[in-house]
Amino acid sequence: MAQRISLAVDGLVKNFGATQALRGVTMNVNEGSVHALLGHNGSGKSTLIKILAGYHVRDAGRIVIHDVALPREFASNVVHSAGVRFVHQDLGLVGNLTVAENLALRGNFERSRCGGISWARQKLATQLSLDRVGARCDPDQTISNLGPVDKTLLTIARAIQDIDVAQGILILDEPTARLPQSEVGRVLDLVRSLRDDGASIVLVTHRLEEVFEVADFVTVLQDGERIFADDITATTPEEIRSAIASNSSTRLAVSEVPPDQRVRSGAPALRVRGLQGLNIRDLDLELHAGEILAVTGTVGSGRSELGRLVYGLQPIVAGSIAVGDVAFTDHMDPKRARRLGLGYTPQERGAGLSMGDAIDDNVALPSMRRMLGALGVSKQRIGKMARSVVEDMSIRPADERLRVGLLSGGNQQKVSIGKWVKLSCVALILDEPLQGIDVGAKADIMAALRDQVTQRGGAILWIESDAELIPQYADRVIVLARGKIVGELAGNELNRKNLLYMLYADGSAAA
């Protein structure tokens, strides 16, 4: 029996001025299936989704939902009433409201007999929704207190709360991009169970392992065109990887530091002694000039907290931090950290970027003070630096005058890292810098970071949860569990097998 198509996209075209974001894309999504939509940063995935959502108007092409063709221009409520639900790259939760309130905002409030909102019933409905998606949070909890995976599950709960899942079409734009590796499974379990209930799901992701875990069908976009489409059972990770990276100038991820050349011992760039924070306990650490040091560990290990403590975004309870030769035990603050030569990018996508400004203005921000100190800010110098950032990080479109807000999610991420790489920082702290970056561009970013440490004498503290990536690009790794260092690997010892063993050895780390 032929499978029924719930969503058909045919010959979709969309131009933004001179940018051809979609050039005749076709995609058919079967009922009760997971359809992975893949492609490099800027290939058009989010644009396709925003057209389906009624946010952008297509220039040409057809869209058919459950056998009904949509007019060229339609409002978002048209697709909404057809049972299509979206989870966009920015989750859109209201941080200072509770879980129940956030669910109620988009659904229908439970009413009492007198017509007022019945909070008791609302709470029960919320609990049922949370159970359905496997979220581990309380209806009364405030959103800002939730971890990233529960926020994601909650957004999905909110999306599906008022539809018949069996008829639903759920479109997920990188739901796992901001999640640590160990938590991704909870989202994939949910995707599988919704599919088994009959939902049609479009899943955008840059993580190929996920595709092979949950997807039934794969479509790959490249510069706005469909260049590959096949059943998951008929393809291989290698085939998909080369489809994604085929037209790019970028290298595929290859191990670029031979293991025997990894031992480095430059002057200490950063020294941490007896550091204590909320989770971090009595931590000692030395980062040397010329070194890329990865910090990993499962959720709650204190990975991100370490970065925040060192950069002064979170108060230190005890201990000392030294940047180069300058040591102190009182509170660091980001301004002082920058003055001492530290740089930092947080885990949240787009944080620290000014969306309304051009790429070159964003790149100039951290360096402005230095340039002022020298010969005054030269527009030419900023332009030159921005152009080389665009080139090194393969930012697309390759135009440093473009507003950052118009770039795709992954390209915005490249700008936020790129603004640090041309500076002579003593040490850079990067929290999950490769999230949402396509397979080809990861190698470019890591190559730019390698230049930072070899050519500019910098050092990098690379906070990373993906155990596949660390052996490819780091000189050394330390593994955290419950706020303490539980292991360290370098040189020939630093490989995937040893790292996974260390991460999951004591069983408690996976909690």
DSSP SS3 for 310: helix
Q: How many CA atoms lie within 13 A of 80 on its CB side?
A: 12
Residue 42 near ligand ATP by CB under 6 A: yes
Interface residue with ligand ATP, options 9, 25, 27, 47 (CB under 6 A): 47
Number of residues that bind ligand ATP (CB under 6 A): 19
Q: Of 13-21, 240-248, 258-266, 308-316, which part binds ligand ATP (CB under 6 A)?
A: 13-21
Query: What is 398-465 written as a DSSP string?
Result: --TTSBGGGS-HHHHHHHHHHHHHTS--SEEEEESTTTT--HHHHHHHHHHHHHHHHHS---EEEE--
Residue 21 near ligand ATP by CB under 6 A: yes
Contact flags string 409-448 toward ligand ATP, x per CB under 6 A = xxx-------------------------------------
* Residue 403 burial (C-beta neighbours within 10 Å; 0-12, 13-18, 19+): middle
Report the alpha-carbon distance of residue 166 to residue 184 in Å, rounded.
24
Per CB under 5 A, 42 contacts Mg ion: no
Q: Residue 313: count other Cβ atoms within 10 Å of its Cβ.
A: 16
**Among 5, 124, 229, 406, which residue sits at the site for ligand ATP (rule: CB under 6 A)?**
406
> Which one of 46-54, 148-156, 284-292, 360-368 is the stretch in contact with Mg ion (CB under 5 A)?
46-54
Piece of 2-10, 15-23, 330-338, 447-455 that binds ligand ATP (CB under 6 A): 15-23
User: Is residue 275 within 8 Å of residue 283, measured between CB atoms?
Assistant: yes
Q: Tell me how far apart the alpha carbons of residues 72 and 53 are, in angstroms, rounded to a whole number.
A: 12
Closer of 293 and 445 to ligand ATP (Cβ): 445
Orientation angle between helical segments 184-196 and 148-160, nearest 10 degrees: 20
CB of 174 to ligand ATP, least distance (A): 7
Report how many residues bind Mg ion under the rule CB under 5 A: 3
Q: According to the binding rule CB under 6 A, does residue 44 interact with ligand ATP?
A: yes
Is residue 416 exposed (0-12), middle (13-18) or buried (19+ Cβ within 10 Å)? buried
Nearer CB in complex with ligand ATP: 296/408: 408
CB of 44 to Mg ion, least distance (A): 9
Residue with smaller CB distance to ligand ATP, 229 or 377: 229
Interface with ligand ATP in residues 209-238 (CB under 6 A): none
Residue 417 CB, nearest distance to ligand ATP (Å)? 13
**Measuring CA to CA, how many Å separate 250 from each of 255, 273, 396?**
14, 40, 12
Among 396, 422, 442, 476, binds ligand ATP (CB under 6 A): 396
Residue whose C-alpha is closest to residue 499's, from 463, 473, 472, 470? 470
Q: Measuring CA to CA, how many Å separate 240 from each of 37, 181, 192, 283, 360?
A: 11, 21, 21, 42, 33
3-state secondary structure 332-378: CCHHHHHHCCEEEECCCCCCCCCCCCEHHHHHHCCCHHHHHHCCCCC
Of the candidate residues 33, 46, 129, 298, the single one contacting Mg ion (CB under 5 A): 46
For position 23 contacting ligand ATP by CB under 6 A, the verdict is no
Q: Pick from ligand ATP, Mg ion, none: which does 476 bind, CB < 5 to 8 A by kind?
A: none
In the shown chain, the binding pattern of residues 311 to 330 toward Mg ion, with x for contact by CB under 5 A and - for none, equals --------------------
Nearer to ligand ATP, 45 or 288 (CB): 45
Can you tell me which of 322, 397, 450, 495 binds ligand ATP, judged by CB under 6 A?
397
Asked if residue 377 binds ligand ATP (CB under 6 A), the reply is no
Q: Which of Mg ion, ligand ATP, none does 406 bind, CB closer than 5 to 8 A by kind?
A: ligand ATP
Strands 217-222 and 225-231: antiparallel
| Strand-strand pairing, 476-481 and 318-323 | unpaired
Q: Whose Cβ is closer to ligand ATP: residue 180's or residue 350's?
A: 350
Q: Are 292 and 473 in contact (CB under 8 A)?
A: yes
* Gap between the Cα atoms of 174 and 46, Å rounded: 9
229, 294, 328, 351 from 309: Cα distances, Å? 46, 16, 13, 18
Beta-bridged to residue 481, according to DSSP, are 484
Taking CB positions, which residue lies at the least distance from ligand ATP?
410
Q: Are 63 and 191 in contact (CB under 8 A)?
A: no
CB of 184 to ligand ATP, least distance (A): 17
User: Judged by CB under 6 A, does residue 45 bind ligand ATP?
Assistant: yes
**Interaction pattern, residues 392-411, with Mg ion; x per rule: CB under 5 A:** ----------------xx--
Under the rule (CB under 5 A), what is the footprint of Mg ion?
46, 408-409
Under the rule (CB under 6 A), what is the footprint of ligand ATP?
16, 19, 21, 39, 41-47, 396-397, 406-411
